[in-house]
Amino acid sequence: MRSQCTESKNYQKIVTRHVWEEYIERAEDIRHTPEGKELYNLRSQTIERVFADAKEKHFMRYTHLRGLAKLKMQVTLIFACMNLKKLAKWKKLNPDMNPILQFLIEFLPVFREKSLMYLEKTVMA
């Protein structure tokens, strides 16, 4: 049966573990606690929602561009716009926001318009 367990000449089975394996196991243990399950269930409303919005609302299901540089530019602009939209929502909930953030929120429509114009110009090129 040894030959089925190992192909080593001295019949020793070597188990290799990743450097972070201990931490991964700990994270998995925490995830399976009642509190961890509760937090993990919020993932669909937070992290995965961002990607779903990007795909559905910002046309990231498919790309219309060719080349890594153009695609990086498009993705950067889209996520910048998404972050600025988040800032606008936070501002609405918290009117006493930092003045720098206030400026960014007021600049959002101009930024979006200029970004779209730049993107259209790049796609046509």
The answer, yes or no, to whether residue 122 has pLDDT greater than 70, is: no
| pLDDT band with cut points at 50, 70 and 90 for residue 3 | confident
Q: Which amino acid is at 55?
A: K
Q: What is the pTM of this model?
A: 0.47
115 and 80 Cβ atoms separated by less than 8 Å: yes
Phi, psi angle pair for 98, to nearest 5° = -50, 140
> Which pLDDT does position 118 carry in this prediction?
67
The answer, yes or no, to whether residue 125 has pLDDT greater than 60, is: no
| pLDDT band with cut points at 50, 70 and 90 for residue 25 | very high
Tokens 């796609």 appear where?
123
- pLDDT tens track for 64-101: 888 888 888 888 888 888 888 887 787 778 777 666 66
- Regarding predicted confidence, which is higher, 1 or 101? 1
- pLDDT tens track for 39-67: 888 887 777 788 888 888 877 888 888 88
Length of the chain (residues)? 125
Torsion of CA 42, 43, 48, 49, to 10 degrees: 20
Distance from C-alpha of 90 to C-alpha of 93, rounded to nearest angstrom = 5
| pLDDT band with cut points at 50, 70 and 90 for residue 102 | low
